[in-house]
Each structure stands twice: as C-alpha cells, then as structure tokens.
Amino acid sequence: MPAAKAESRTGRRLHALTKIELATEDDSAQDAHRAIGDATDAFEAVKQPLGGQRTGKIVKPRVYVETSVISYLTARPSNDLRAMANQNATVEWWETQRSKYDLVVSEFVIAEASLGHPDAAKLRLSVADEIATLKVTEEVRLLGKVLITRGALPSNAELDAYHVAVAAVNGVDYLLTWNCKHIANAHMRPKIEAVCKALGYAPPVICTPDELTEI
C-alpha cells in the first residue's frame, strides 16, 4: 500500500476516534452514537486493518503476548492448584506452540513486566526483550479510551484496554493472556469485538495458552 494512502487511512481513523472521545467526554450519547456511525462509514471500504497488511510472502500468524503469560512462564512453581495448572499450560505452550507464531509485545507489557521484585522482573524482561515490540501510537491511545468509554472494558482496566488496542490497531491475529477478569472473559469478549468492528478494526482472537493449541 502506498505510504500516502496508508497515512490518509490513519488520519481518518484518528479523526473518528477523536470525535468519539470528545462526544463521550461531553456526555452526549447521541453525539457519540453519531461519531461511531461516521467512523463505520469512513472505514467501510477498508476490509483489513493497517497493521494486518500482508505481502505475498507466507507469514506466520501473529500473537500479542500479554504480561500475565510472561509472568506465569517465569514464575516460581506455585502450590496453588489453579496457578500451577496455568504455569504448566504456559510452559507447554511456550515449548510446543510458540514456534508456530510470530510473537509481539508492547511497551505496556515491558512496563508491567518491570514491576515487582527485581529478580522476578529481570526474568520477565529477559523474555520480553526477545520479542518484537509494537509501537504505541496516538491511534492506540484513542482506541483504548474508546473501549472504556463505550463499556467494552471497565474504567479500572485502562491498561488492559491498551493491550487490546495495540493488538487491534496493528492487525495482530491473537491476544494471548491469562487475564480472565477483564480480557479473556466470556462477558467482555463480545463487547470488545463489537467496539473494534464498529470502528473498522479486526479484533484479535482473545485466548489463553490452553485455547491456542494446534493439534
């Protein structure tokens, strides 16, 4: 795709997202609804998000690795049965499935991974540093805010919204997470997908390592 055309599409997205954000801040449901309609119309001709463009070369599906996956991968063995099961599933996925995908993270993952005990953070960062990092743009920031203002994610889950936004804006195929409270949640997923699709983005498939397994 020519650079000028890609920039034009990005500009339309940013304009529409900004209108939605401002309409929501003005507490006008009618204006927000109209803005979403404008965004949908503007993106109707765009069937593939900017980040999802592919060349003729065969590429692997991309997986956005959310922080909780890295945490389970590097954590000390737990005595808690559920945590132990998640740890085992994560290690097994990393060893048997990882090579089938191109992995990506974002600066949000790196920021979260750096928190906590220095030794544990060092282990998490050693994993994150080996994975390609996606840029966090103004488009990502605006989409994250819209996901919250439109009720796809609660207001106390801003960072989780940004994880989804980074993946959606960049056309990533899967979002791998153990965050079952706000992201890999049967009640949240349809709302996340609906907001993304209404704005012209193909939402990532949100799943846990247990679910992203090829037989």
pLDDT digits (tens, 9 = 90+) for 183-206: 999 999 999 999 999 999 999 999
Q: Which bin fits 127, alpha (ψ -120 to 50), beta or left (φ > 0)?
A: alpha
Residue 49: the pLDDT is 44
Pick out the chain residues at pLDDT < 50. Answer: 44-53
Please check whether residue 150 lies inside any domain of the structure: yes
What does the pLDDT look like over 23-49, one tens digit per residue?
Answer: 555 555 555 555 555 555 555 444 344
Residues of the domain holding 187: 54-215
Within-domain flag for 101: yes
Segments of 31-94 assigned E as strands: 62-65
Number of folded domains that form the chain: 1
CATH assignment at residue 156: 3.40.50.1010
Does an H or E element contain 194, and which?
helix 188-198
What is the length of the chain?
215
Please tell me the predicted confidence (pLDDT) of residue 59. Answer: 85
Residue 36 is assigned to a structural domain of this protein: no
Domain assignment present for 13: no
Question: For tokens 């060092």, what's the residue?
Answer: 122
